[in-house]
Structure formats: structure tokens, C-alpha cells
Amino acid sequence: MTDGREVQWVEVTEGQVGQRVDNFLITRIKGAPRALIYRIVRKGEVRVNKKRVKADTRLALGDVVRIPPLKLAPREAVREVSDNLRNLLAGSVLLEGRDWMVLNKPSGLAVHGGSGVKIGLIEALRQVREDLDFLELVHRLDRDTSGCLLLAKSRPALLALNESLKRHEMNKQYLALVAGRWPARRDFVSARLDRFDAGNGERRVRVDSGGKVARTRFAVREAFARATLIEAEPITGRTHQIRVHAAHAGHPLLGDDKYGTREAGRIAAQFGLSRLFLHAASLTFPEPTSGKPVKIRAPLGETLDGVLESARNAR
């Protein structure tokens, strides 16, 4: 990893074959934001085999990448990983294979930096796991959602897992606590979703006939006096899909500050809930090398378990 004080020439290894130049540089230049990476590539300061390249150029085995010396201004640098975050991420690994890993993502941690977020999970994990030359997200979770998050540790694994996603060979099941009594017979929601600008640069999603097709399966896991624990399985992968579909069905997720209602807010407060109750509870995917199914579960944790106990005791 470059320290920014001198030019480095780095040879591409087998695990980095096919990686984009910008992603390669992000793993090598500690603390560099994407905007800076794009700038030095555009100016020709980054060379591959002594030739100018674009940010999306794919690397081949044996390519030699020139990395220029960089001195990051404090306002530009990606924040260093704190000891607390380092320990949190280290303790969040649920299972790790040769070329993939699954984390139990903490709620409140964005998967990517940007838009006011100095450091996201992927940037932090690249600092923590300096033994890895390649580390990319296979899919994403909302910032406030916790649970199973899959990452690839090699380019071939990323391609194989992305293909599994496209073929619907990857199954993701979520647990959510919603306001009111979810009807036992309401097991499927199909409503088109459209992204829109809600003001102040915030992007939200709404049900709209002109939006993209979105389908979610729902099942009641446990019914309480004022809320219902449901299992949600997104058939499609739209932004905020589970949250918007649940709200559209008249039962918004508790702790949802974007799509919730005042009544849902009162119920959440009664249960002592201070975060979004949406948790990626299980993930099943074909192992990228052998094709054998891998199934991983992420425990809810003490906080959400405590909320469920409060829900059971509520009247």
C-alpha cells in the first residue's frame, strides 16, 4: 500500500486480474477518495505499462501500474478506521471462504463512503484487511439495515456471485417488525417502485405505476398486540423495496424515519426501538468455485431481541 511519498510501480497479480483501475487504486492508496482517484487517472498520473488509461480500464496479469506520490489534504482523506470500528468489523465476520466472506453488518454503517459519509464499511474493511489485494461488495444493504452482507475477495468470485444474483440463485430473507397486525393471508406484494428527489439531495422511493417492477414475499413469524414480526423475501432488488412495500400494505416498518407514520413512531418508542427494525437474517448462495450451496444466518442481537420481548409484553 502506498504511503504517498514516492512513485510506486505495482505488478498485477492473479487475484487482481480483471479489476478496474479505479478500484485497484482505492485498495492501494490509503485514505484516497474516489474523486481524487478519478482526477489523477484523468491527468495521466496513473499509467499501466507506461501508457495512459481510463478509470474503467481492466487490468491483466503482469500489468505494471504506476501510482503517483500523493499528499491528501485533511478534507480529502477518507477517515482512518477507529479502534472501535476495527474491532466491530473483526467481530462481525460470520463466515469466510477462500475468496468470499459474509459479515453481520451493523445498523447505522453505510456500505460505501460518500454524500457526507467519510468512511463506509467497504473502505474501512479494506484498511482492516490489509492482507487482501481485492475486496468488493457483491450486493448492498441500506445504511440502517443490519445482517448478512456478502463480499468477494477475488475478481473471479465477484463475477461468479454477480452471475448468481442475475440468475436468482441467491436467496435473501429479512426479518422486519411492522406496525399493526399483518394479515396472515397477505403473503405477496407486487407494486412498481419509482425513485424521486425528495429535496435537499435526498433520494426516496414511492409506489408509482410508471416505476420498475418490484415483488416481495411476506410471511408472518409472530403476531403481537400492536405489531407483527414478518419475514420478507425480495424477489426483485429495488432500493428500499421491503420498506416501501410494507408501508404500501399499510404496515410500515418500525423505526423507519423515511416511510413510517406517527403511529408507527409511537409504537417504536413504546418498545424502546431507536433504529430501523430490518435485519438480513439469512443468505443462501452457490459457492463461487464449487457451486455447493452456502447458507448463513445472522443473529438479531441483544438490541432487537430486547425490542421483541417488549412487543410481547405490550398491550
At 147, give phi and psi (nearest 5°).
Answer: 115, -160
Distance CA 153, CA 102 (A): 11
Catalytic residue among 142, 144, 187, 257: 142
Please give the grid coordinates belonging to residue 50: 507506461
SS3 string of 92-121? Answer: CEEEECCCEEEEEECCCCCCCCECCECCCH
Please give the grid coordinates belonging to residue 103: 459479515
Grid cell 498485477 is found at: 12
Please give the grid coordinates belonging to residue 119: 468512511
142 is an active site residue: yes
Q: Under a CB-based contact definition with an 8 Å cutoff, are residues 117 and 248 in contact?
A: no
Convert 161-198 to b/e letters by CB count within 10 Å (16 or more is b). bbebeeeeebebbbbbbbbbebeeeeeebebebbeeee
Catalytic residue numbers read 142
